[in-house]
Amino acid sequence: MKSLIRGALLIIIAAAVLMIVNAQLAKSGAQAGGNTLTVYNWGEYIDPDLIKQFEKETGINVIYETFDSNEGMMGKIEQGGTSYDITVPSEYMVEMMRKKDLLIPLDYSKIPNMKNIDPYFEDLPFDPKNKYSIPYFWGTLGIAYNPSLLEGQTFESWDDVWDPSLKQEVVLVDSAREVIGMGLNSLGYSLNSTDPRELREATDKLKTLSPNIKAVIGDEVTQMMMNNEAAVSLIWSGQAADMMSENEDITYVVPEEGSNLWFDNIVIPRTVKNIDGAYKFIDFMLRPEVAAQNADYVGYSTPNLKALDFMDPEVTSDERYYPDEEARGHLEVYKDLGLEMLGFYNELFLEFKMDMK
Amino acid sequence: MVRRMKTNRTNFRLPLVPYSLWIILFVIAPIGLIVYYSFFDLGGNFTLSNYSNFFTSVYLQLTVSSFWYAFLITFFSLLIAYPTAYFLTKLKHKQLWLLLIIIPSWINLLLKTYAFIGLMGLYGPINAALEAFGIGKHQILFTDFSFVFVSVYIFIPFMILPIFNALDKLNPALIDASRDLGANAWTTFTRVIWPLTLNGVKSGIQVVFIPALSLFMITRLIAGNRVITLGTAIEQQFLVTQNWGMGSTIAVFLILFMVVILLLTTANERGMAGSGKKR
């Protein structure tokens, strides 16, 4: 009988211990104290040498944690119990976090290196006057293709993807706004369309693409393109850069109708513990030499104008990564459309995927 | 006397405490939460719209296709597992052979799936072999075939185990008796072996069909999202659209489907055993 009570107690204790462990894990960076800085960033999104350099210069110990989706990152910040000092959301997520009051307004007197940022990338609609965020990297969405596997097809227009000769050749990223966005772009509609009629039209057009589609997958796209398994893919410029560094046959293009222009941005979330350290880190990352070295390592485009002088001119003059102002005019930044609309996009995307047999 | 009975009763109830605690904390509470969430919309208002939304063409089609693929996977698993289990019981070192079949299930599912991506790729060994035989390259990955093949491969050990146990417990004297009474091999199988191992087959079907209904990772990695199941939809609702209400609603239906399958398979079982005894 006693052993049974013990058994019951054991389960209650186990549950309690699990809860405590969970709480402890959640505040992982919390041993923080004065001299640590917890950076919460995408994987492979910073040159590790720069973290070492920052630690050496300032004596601040950096804890680097990674996430793989904006939504997952926001979830952890919203829950609280964490002590992230810096994080790097995409533009629509900055908007969402701002609305949820999860960000701290930046004090620019502590970030003198802000002057290095290209004014073109300042004061964007998702964060007027850069009150909460500073662009970290930017890029586009376009088509990576391998001419050696194709018979001379080019992709000046989105409609070229519908070419009947590309049967079973096209790989799409498994992401609703990107794929529905391709349909919208090809019809000349806005990427931020909330008009059900336009979205329906885009979905119907995408359904006619199904004979050309090989698969709709996630990050595996990069590997497949590198290994010549796929010839054409809808992909972000940074991943296209990864492909090209491994497989020289591949090239990347943004079709002329326009596409998505995206930004990942440094912000200080509400969970911050070491705010001085956070400012030091931001200012450090905005130094031209540092930003240049980081861009070299990561392979995405830097919004740091001064940094371009420290980089290989072959890269910075490459229209695929640094399109000129005219080409940029066709690009559109995602707006936060609200959860209802995001749900509608995803339902259409599901419908499109189910139609793809 | 009275006192003794009382202690007996408490003795009888006490063992239930740890189990009921376990079930309340880790079974009933999570299911309760899922049901609870399924009644709320994005704005956190009470609603039944998630349920009416489920009965739109998109989700009904999803349900049908989930069931169809789960059926295919279960069918082929059974087709391969039954003879395999049968021959295993005939072998000398059957436990060793069984172990060899079980071992692959110790390897992480994701790793096995990634291995298949390599194997089935355009430049993978399967296509190299096809080419060597003069058949030529084929797109194997991202087809219905690859999806069913990989899923069957993953589920087979779970189908073999219960069938093997049922066959192993089968009294060989019954088969001898059937033969002595003049039944040929086929009749012996259909009238004696199959009915007596049906319970093993049923538990095999349960452990394969139910998880196969909600497969989601393989649908993307191996089928390239050409196969969409209810699992895919749940993943999307929770991780992308953050619509926990709709995600929970799909999960509630999935639970209901599973209950129905369990009832169907176990109800028959009881009926069989009962009628068997009467005769």
Q: What is the per-residue pLDDT across B94-111, written as a single tens digit (0 to 9) for each?
A: 889 999 988 988 899 889
Alpha carbons within 13 A on the beta-carbon side of A222:
13
Q: Do B241 and A5 touch (CB under 8 A)?
A: no
Query: Which residue is it, tokens 């398994």?
Result: A229
Give the percent of chain B with pLDDT over 70: 91
Let me know how long chain A is: 357
Residue A22 pLDDT more than 80? no
pLDDT in tens, A171-181: 999 889 999 99
Residue B38 forms part of a structural domain: no
Q: Which residues of A touch B11 (CB under 8 A)?
A: 1
CA distance B264 to chain A (A): 29
Task: List, as ranges, residues 28-47 from B with C-beta within 8 Å of A.
Answer: 42
Q: Is domain A139-261+331-354 given the CATH code 3.40.190.10 in the classification?
A: yes
Secondary structure (DSSP) of A130-177? GSSEEEEEEEEEEEEE-GGGSSS---SSGGGGG-GGGTT-EEEES-HH
Q: How far is CA A276 from CA A60, A98, A102, A107, B242, in A?
A: 10, 21, 18, 11, 33
pLDDT in tens, B210-249: 899 988 889 989 999 888 889 888 988 888 888 889 999 9
Task: Give the CATH number, domain containing residue B86.
Answer: 1.10.3720.10
| Tally of domains within chain B | 1
Mean pLDDT along residues A299-305: 91
Instruction: Specify the pLDDT at position B268.
Output: 57
Rounded Cα distance between A199 and A351, Å, is 12
Angle at A213 between CA A210 and CA A219, to 5 degrees: 135
Instruction: Specify the pLDDT at position A225.
Output: 93
Joined together, the tokens standing for residue A85 give: 């000092």
Task: List, as ranges, residues 153-212 from B with C-beta within 8 Å of A.
Answer: none
Q: Which CATH code, of 3.40.1260.10, 3.30.930.10, 3.60.20.10, 3.40.190.10, is assigned to A14-137+264-323? A: 3.40.190.10
Mean pLDDT along residues A11-19: 85
Task: List, as ranges, residues 109-148 from B with C-beta within 8 Å of A.
Answer: 117, 121-123, 139, 141-142
Rounded Cα distance between B160 and B166, Å, is 10
Rounded Cα distance between B197 and B203, Å, is 10
Give the percent of chain B with pLDDT over 90: 55
Full residue range of the structural domain in which residue B136 is found? 56-278
Same fold, A14-137+264-323 and A139-261+331-354: yes
Query: Which residue is it, tokens 């009904």?
Result: B60
Give the percent of chain A with pLDDT over 70: 97
Question: Positive or negative CA dihedral for A3, A6, A11, A14?
Answer: negative
Choose the weakest-confidence range: A15-19, A237-241, B5-9, B21-25.
B5-9
Is A173 or A33 the better-scoring residue by pLDDT?
A173
Residue B274 pLDDT more than 50? no
List the single best residue of A354, A356, A357 to mutate versus B (max B Cβ within 10 A).
A354
Quickly state the pLDDT bin for B42 (edges 50, 70, 90).
Answer: confident
pLDDT in tens, A36-76: 999 999 988 999 999 999 999 999 999 999 987 888 888 88
Mean pLDDT along residues B188-201: 92
B221 reaches A (C-beta below 8 A): yes
Alpha helices in B170-243 (DSSP H): 172-180, 185-188, 194-213, 217-221, 230-239
Instruction: Specify the pLDDT at position A295.
Output: 92
Domain residue extents for chain A: 14-137+264-323, 139-261+331-354
Mean pLDDT along residues A203-232: 92
Choose the weakest-confidence range: A7-11, A116-120, B106-110, B272-276.
B272-276
A209 reaches B (C-beta below 8 A): no
Residue B1 pLDDT more than 60? no
Quickly state the pLDDT bin for A28 (edges 50, 70, 90).
Answer: low
Q: Kindly report the three-state secondary structure assignment for every residue of B241-279.
A: CCCHHHHHHHHHHHHHHHHHHHHHHHHHHHHHHHHHHHC
Residue B271 pLDDT more than 70? no
The strand pair at A61-67 and A36-42 is best described as: parallel
Instruction: Specify the pLDDT at position B7.
Output: 54
Instruction: Specify the pLDDT at position B17.
Output: 84
Mean pLDDT along residues A148-164: 92
Residue A106 pLDDT more than 80? yes
